[in-house]
């Protein structure tokens, strides 16, 4: 395992603030933030209570008339400045992100670069009104108007990217926002709030750290019109139930149990590095990570061998160490869940191709683990593991592989791999998911809608489809005959 580095890592930092109405402010309490590579508290973040939430919502409402009256072009310029600020501060933000989230520093930089480019991409998508009829008698058009104040609730696996997507969607379409990061990873989002303080008019962006209860208060708050929630299926269901009280619009980006189906004609050595990356990047803590690999019996042994070869290359360690490819699990709760799944998989008699043991350190490290001969009903196949342990399952008949891939309440994404992209595309189109990839996995773009089928979500992010979910369609129907 790579050595942990950076002597200053355990220095307690307190220089974080909430952003409310253009002011940096303390909260009602504080959150202890743990560096998952050490298991120790390294910073404190302010935590908002109901009073701070009310103030943030009131500020966002005050800022709304002026912000929503601006043109799309005008708002695009603000978002370009925001992307510029993310890039200028990429190194410092990446270090902070690695300390609080655990991911290797290179992946942290990639996350920030991606947040910047996706933001710019979204702010170039035209939102136009639709003319339904325009004849001598009548004109009927549909215009899209901002919903109002958006509440944005994010998880701990990619805090910057998963805040930037909904935040830019909300702002570009004329809404104002209150952003709440996960209590496990509040720091980089708070820092971004601070950096954006002088870029946007006061009250347009408000950033509140806080516990789970703050998220719930946001879903209940009568001053919030839309909730964008990214997180687990279980919490997503609570968000939907709670938002029903005020009939808030919701976008739910939830968990997944993505299958990758590998057909009989692939070159296993060429496919293995791509599959491994899609399963293990960010230590598997990615909603659309490959979480089950279904491999045709013809290439099964060769693919397993090539995946094991990949696993050997992925050094586990502190994300600040340049040699690290696999950082720690982000938090103790998730780490304990993975150890439970590991024990359950061992008990079920599965065969371990790689990993299977857990390093004994104070950090939440977990070796890259590949398992086979797994019971299809075992937890590692049925549940979203959200970690660096992936089952490789054998199939003979493509119909059977499709049935097993679809036999889940999840439906985020999936992929099919083949030398023949058209053959693979016909199979991929039958996956019950929001996104079906061929010969790739985990590829998203600002102009392509992303989101889950079944219990993996509600609505879409990105593209005009995602942006319009922050807007209300308003029909203007004009009878042209004078009265």
Binding piece for ligand NAD, criterion CB under 6 A, among 176-184, 315-323, 338-346, 438-446:
176-184
The single residue among 16, 386, 395, 462 that binds ligand NAD, judged by CB under 6 A, is 386
Q: Give me the residue whose beta carbon is nearest to ligand NAD.
A: 215
Among 153, 262, 306, 428, binds ligand NAD (CB under 6 A): 153
- Asked whether the beta carbons of 381 and 373 are under 8 A apart, the reply is no
Q: Which distant-in-sequence residues (6+ apart) come within 8 Å of 409 by Cβ? A: 233, 454, 455
Instruction: Tell me how far, at minimum, the Cβ of 289 lies from ligand NAD, in Å.
Output: 8
Query: For residues 204 and 300, what is the distance between their CA atoms, to the nearest angstrom?
Result: 53
Provide, for the chain, the percentages of residues in helix, strand and coil under a 3-state DSSP scheme, each rounded to the nearest 5. 40, 25, 35
Instruction: Please check whether residue 162 is in contact with residue 226, taking contact to mean a CB–CB distance below 8 angstroms.
Output: no
- CB 211 → ligand NAD: shortest distance, Å? 6
18 within 8 A of 201, measured Cβ to Cβ: no
Which DSSP string corresponds to 430-477? TS-SSEEEES--S---TTS-B--SGGGEES-BSHHHHHHTTEEEEEEE
In the bound state with ligand NAD, the residue whose beta carbon lies nearer, of 102 and 174, is 102
Strand partners, 352: 371
418 binds ligand NAD, rule: CB under 6 A: no
Tell me whether residue 287 is one of the annotated catalytic residues.
yes
253 counts as catalytic: yes
When asked if residue 178 is in the footprint of ligand NAD (CB under 6 A), the reply is no
Determine which residue in the list 183, 193, 328, 466 makes contact with ligand NAD, applying CB under 6 A. 183
Near ligand NAD in 451-470, by CB under 6 A: 452, 457
Closest distance of CB 2 from ligand NAD, Å: 25
Identify which range of 229-237, 319-327, 356-364, 388-396 contacts ligand NAD by CB under 6 A: 229-237
Residue 324 or 331: the one with the smaller Cβ distance to ligand NAD is 331
What is the Cα–Cα distance from 234 to 198, expressed in whole angstroms? 37
Instruction: Report the distance separating Cα 257 and Cα 404, nearest Å.
Output: 12
Site mask, ligand NAD, residues 236-275, x = CB under 6 A? Answer: --xx-------------xxxx-------------------
Please list, in sequence order, all residues whose beta carbon lies within 8 angstroms of the beta carbon of residue 237, skipping any fewer than 6 positions away: none
212 binds ligand NAD (CB under 6 A): yes
Which of 102, 104, 215, 355 forms a contact with ligand NAD (CB under 6 A)?
A: 215
Our CB check for ligand NAD shows the closer of 36 and 255 to be 255
Write down the catalytic residue from 100, 111, 120, 287: 287
Contact call for residues 157 and 442 (beta carbons, < 8 A): no
CA dist list (Å): 262 to 336, 337, 401, 402: 31, 28, 9, 11
Q: Which stretch binds ligand NAD (CB under 6 A): 9-17, 224-232, 305-313, 398-406?
A: 224-232
Q: Is 157 in the site for ligand NAD (CB under 6 A)?
A: yes
* C-alpha to C-alpha distance for 221 and 52, rounded to whole angstroms: 13
Q: How far are the Cα atoms of 81, 400, 448 from residue 444, in angstroms, in the given order?
A: 23, 28, 7
Nearer to ligand NAD, 329 or 398 (CB): 329
What is the C-alpha separation between 325 and 274, in angstroms, rounded?
14
Q: Does 235 bind ligand NAD (CB under 6 A)?
A: yes
Which part of the chain contacts ligand NAD (CB under 6 A), choosing from 209-217, 272-280, 315-323, 347-355?
209-217
With vertex at residue 88, the alpha carbon angle to CA 87 and CA 94, rounded to the nearest 5 degrees, is 65
**Contacting residue, 27, 46, 148, 231, with ligand NAD by CB under 6 A:** 231
- Binding-residue total with ligand NAD (CB under 6 A): 29
d(CA 245, CA 238): 12
For residue 357, give every residue at least 6 positions away whose Cβ sits within 8 Å of its Cβ, in sequence order, or none.
367
Sign of CA dihedral 319, 324, 325, 327: negative
User: Which of 35, 101, 107, 154 contacts ligand NAD by CB under 6 A?
Assistant: 154
- One of 5, 25, 232, 361 touching ligand NAD (CB under 6 A): 232
Does residue 385 bind ligand NAD (CB under 6 A)? no
| 284 near ligand NAD, judged by CB under 6 A | no
Residues designated as active site: 253, 287
Site for ligand NAD, rule CB under 6 A? 153-157, 162, 180, 182-183, 212, 215-216, 219, 230-232, 235, 238-239, 253-256, 287, 384, 386, 412, 452, 457
């Amino acid at each position: 395992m790579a050595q942990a580095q950076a002597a200053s890592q355990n220095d307690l930092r307190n220089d974080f603030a909430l952003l409310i109405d253009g002011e940096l402010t303390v909260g009602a309490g504080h959150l202890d933030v743990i560096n998952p590579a050490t298991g120790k508290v390294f910073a404190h973040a302010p935590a908002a209570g109901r009073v701070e939430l009310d103030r943030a919502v009131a500020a966002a409402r005050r800022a709304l008339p002026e912000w929503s009256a601006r043109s799309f072009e005008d708002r695009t310029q603000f978002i370009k400045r925001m992307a510029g600020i993310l890039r200028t501060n990429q190194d410092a933000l990446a270090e902070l992100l690695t300390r609080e989230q655990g991911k290797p520093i290179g992946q942290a930089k990639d996350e920030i670069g991606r947040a910047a480019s996706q933001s710019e991409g979204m702010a170039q998508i035209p939102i136009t009104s639709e003319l339904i009829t325009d004849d001598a008698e009548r004109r009927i058009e549909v215009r899209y108007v901002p919903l109002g104040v958006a509440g944005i609730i994010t998880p701990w696996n990619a805090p910057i990217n998963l805040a930037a997507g909904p935040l830019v969607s909300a702002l570009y379409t004329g809404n104002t926002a209150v952003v709440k990061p996960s209590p496990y990873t509040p720091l980089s989002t708070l820092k971004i709030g601070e950096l954006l303080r002088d870029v946007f008019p006061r009250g347009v962006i408000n950033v509140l750290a806080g516990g789970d209860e703050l998220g719930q208060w946001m879903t209940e708050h009568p001053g919030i019109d839309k909730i964008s929630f990214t997180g687990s299926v279980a919490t997503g269901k609570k968000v939907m139930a709670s938002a029903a009280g005020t009939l808030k619009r919701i976008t739910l980006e939830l968990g997944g149990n993505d299958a990758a189906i590998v057909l009989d004609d692939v070159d296993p050595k060429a496919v293995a590095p791509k599959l491994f990356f899609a399963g293990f990047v960010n230590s598997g803590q990615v909603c659309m990570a490959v979480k089950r690999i279904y491999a045709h019996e013809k290439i099964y042994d060769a693919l397993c061998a090539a995946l094991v070869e990949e696993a050997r290359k992925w050094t586990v360690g502190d994300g600040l160490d340049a040699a690290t490819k696999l950082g720690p699990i982000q938090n103790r709760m998730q780490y304990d869940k993975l150890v439970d799944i590991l024990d359950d998989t061992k008990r079920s008699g599965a065969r371990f191709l790689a990993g299977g043991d857990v390093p004994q350190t104070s950090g939440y490290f977990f070796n890259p683990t590949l398992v086979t001969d797994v019971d299809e009903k075992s937890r590692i196949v049925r549940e979203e593991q959200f970690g660096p342990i992936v089952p490789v399952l054998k199939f003979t008949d493509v119909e059977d592989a499709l049935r097993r891939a679809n036999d889940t309440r999840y439906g985020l994404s999936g992929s099919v791999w083949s030398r023949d992209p058209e053959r693979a595309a016909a199979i991929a189109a039958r996956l019950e998911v929001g996104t079906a990839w061929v010969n790739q996995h985990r590829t998203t773009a600002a102009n392509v809608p992303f989101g889950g089928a079944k219990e993996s979500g509600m609505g879409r992010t990105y593209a005009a489809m995602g942006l319009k979910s922050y807007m209300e369609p308003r029909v203007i129907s004009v009878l042209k005959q004078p009265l």
